[in-house]
């Protein structure tokens, strides 16, 4: 059964259980998915309203972008747990002969690369989601301002949480170029996304205070 | 149907739809619920392990606290949308006669107080969840360190998101003492919780780098 087909109650209970997956990777993808869904909602509450008519075209563009990113981030919830399960599967590989040991090590390094690349992809989607959300500020329904702020908070949580999930998978990977490149890419997304999230949140908070 | 009985997909789709609820308040409660669920998971992956035997009693205490807070935060997901619906219901009250207008104004102020108190209660639960998570640092399974970091990120998102949802409901409330007290209480939770979340995240991130 897919995680996205669980009820909220069952997903949260499974998260809290003694099963190591789903864990922080899937939780971070859900944070990003609900973040961009809130941006989509605010677009739905703004498009067609007289007050925001001058931004109509841009609001529709943001809406389409948000809807697309939401679908991809929903998929990322299961992808992260699948990548984790691939790593777990390697633990049950035989390790008696030298050949078995070598095959196991190779499989582990490959599985960990997958487990690092999955949250890295979530980071990329989340930065795009933050860019879309930032465009909506000042052009959308002010009654739903807090919702755009909550969007930014969830996207930031998804971004930083995915970053931690990239980091935790790097130490077991033998390919040094992969490790270096992945770390650099993750840090670039982190820096860009955090700055966007902060700008959005501060603008919203100061408007509500 | 309760929100917590929706699948992740249906909840995120409903969040993104043109319905004004569920919105950022319920999303923030879910963020906090999945945050403390991760802390509970890390306790489950630490209790009974030789390496953490000296902390066994404390880990069990944190586990019990996390499990309890998780249930309450799951309930908060629906409570927030119910409080919002109470506000929406007032909009359909008649406002022809002076008596009707007065009754409507009174009902609106009362409904908004409910809509502010609900995210305030989520903030209180979330600060308790951050305190429990902080206690777990350095005493629990290091293989799941990133999960405690993701717990802190989600709790912080739930805390700040709930704060925005307190703020957005205050302007329509006539009772000045209520407004002042609620704002002060929310700011105190915000300050305390943000500091805890930052401490946890920084400790985890520096351990993984």
pLDDT digits (tens, 9 = 90+) for B120-154: 999 999 999 999 999 999 999 999 999 999 999 99
- Say how many CB pairs under 8 Å bridge A and B: 204
Q: Which residues 51-110 of A have a C-beta within 8 angstroms of B?
A: 66-67, 70, 74, 77
**pLDDT (tens digit, 9 = 90+) per residue, B79-128?**
999 999 999 999 999 999 999 999 999 999 999 999 999 999 999 999 99
pLDDT recorded at residue A140:
95
pLDDT recorded at residue A74:
98
Of A9, A11, A154, the CB nearest to B31: A154
Could A12 and B23 be called an inter-chain contact, meaning their C-beta atoms sit closer than 8 Å? no
**C-alpha span between B79 and B88 (Å, rounded):** 14
Could B31 and A33 be called an inter-chain contact, meaning their C-beta atoms sit closer than 8 Å? no
Short-list B64, B93, B173, B41, CA closest to A25: B41
**pLDDT (tens digit, 9 = 90+) per residue, A84-111?**
999 999 999 999 999 999 999 999 999 9
Distances (CA, A) of B17 to A44, B14, B20, B25: 7, 5, 8, 15
pLDDT recorded at residue B103:
94
Mean pLDDT of chain B: 96
Give how far A190 is from chain B: nearest CA, Å. 13
Short-list B118, B126, B114, B115, CA closest to B191: B126
Domains of chain A with CATH codes: 21-208 (1.20.120.680)
A7 bridge partner residues: B7
Angle between helices A24-44 and B145-167 (to 10 degrees): 20
Could A23 and B150 be called an inter-chain contact, meaning their C-beta atoms sit closer than 8 Å? yes
The answer to whether the complex's ipTM is over 0.85 is: yes
Residue with tokens 């944070």: A31
Instruction: Reduce the secondary structure of A80-122 to three states and give it as a string.
Output: HHHHHHHHHHHHCCCCCCHHHHHHHHHHHHHHHHHHHHHHHHH
pLDDT recorded at residue B15:
98
Could B147 and A23 be called an inter-chain contact, meaning their C-beta atoms sit closer than 8 Å? yes
Contact, A77 vs A1, CB < 8 A?
Answer: no
**C-alpha span between B24 and A141 (Å, rounded):** 14
Tell me B9's DSSP state. H
Alpha helices for chain A (secondary structure H): 8-16, 24-44, 56-91, 98-136, 145-167, 176-208
Could B144 and A11 be called an inter-chain contact, meaning their C-beta atoms sit closer than 8 Å? no
Tell me A138's DSSP state. T
Contact, A76 vs A122, CB < 8 A?
Answer: yes
Distances (CA, A) of A124 to A76, A82, A189, B33, B128: 11, 19, 7, 25, 32
pLDDT at B20 over 90: no
pLDDT at B164 over 90: yes
Residues in chain A: 209
For chain A, the C-alpha Rg in angstroms (whole number) is 20
**pLDDT (tens digit, 9 = 90+) per residue, A17-63?**
998 889 999 999 999 999 999 999 999 999 999 999 999 999 999 99
Contact, B75 vs B121, CB < 8 A?
Answer: no
Chain B residues touching residue A25 (CB < 8 angstroms): 150
Of A7, A27, A34, the CB nearest to B27: A34
Mean pLDDT to the nearest integer, B63-88: 97
Q: What is the longest distance spanned by two Cα atoms in chain A?
A: 73
Could B74 and A12 be called an inter-chain contact, meaning their C-beta atoms sit closer than 8 Å? yes
Could B164 and A156 be called an inter-chain contact, meaning their C-beta atoms sit closer than 8 Å? no
Structure-block tokens of residue B11: 């909840």
pLDDT at A175 over 90: yes
pLDDT at B209 over 90: no
Chain A residues touching residue B9 (CB < 8 angstroms): 4-5, 74
Q: How far apart are the first and last CA of chain B?
A: 44
Enter the pTM of the model: 0.97
Could A31 and B34 be called an inter-chain contact, meaning their C-beta atoms sit closer than 8 Å? yes
pLDDT at A209 over 90: no
Answer whether B193 touches A (CB < 8 Å).
no
């Amino acid at each position: 059964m897919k995680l996205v087909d669980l009820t909220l109650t069952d997903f949260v209970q499974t998260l809290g259980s003694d099963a190591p997956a789903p864990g922080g990777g899937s939780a971070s993808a859900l944070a990003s998915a609900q973040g961009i869904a809130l941006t989509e909602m605010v677009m739905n509450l703004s498009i067609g309203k007289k007050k925001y008519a001058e931004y109509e075209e841009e609001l529709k563009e943001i809406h389409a972008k948000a809807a697309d990113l939401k679908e991809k981030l929903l998929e990322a919830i299961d992808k992260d747990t699948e990548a984790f399960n691939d790593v777990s599967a390697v633990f049950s590989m035989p390790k008696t002969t030298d050949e078995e040991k070598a095959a196991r090590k190779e499989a582990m390094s490959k599985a960990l690369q997958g487990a690092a690349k999955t949250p890295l992809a979530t980071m990329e989607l989340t930065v795009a989601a933050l860019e879309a959300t930032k465009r909506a500020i000042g052009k959308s329904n002010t009654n739903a301002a807090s919702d755009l702020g909550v969007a930014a908070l969830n996207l930031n949580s998804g971004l930083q949480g995915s970053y931690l999930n990239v980091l935790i998978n790097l130490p077991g990977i033998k390919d040094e170029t992969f490790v270096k490149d992945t770390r650099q890419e993750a840090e670039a997304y982190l820096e860009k996304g955090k700055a966007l999230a902060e700008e959005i949140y501060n603008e919203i908070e100061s408007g509500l205070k």
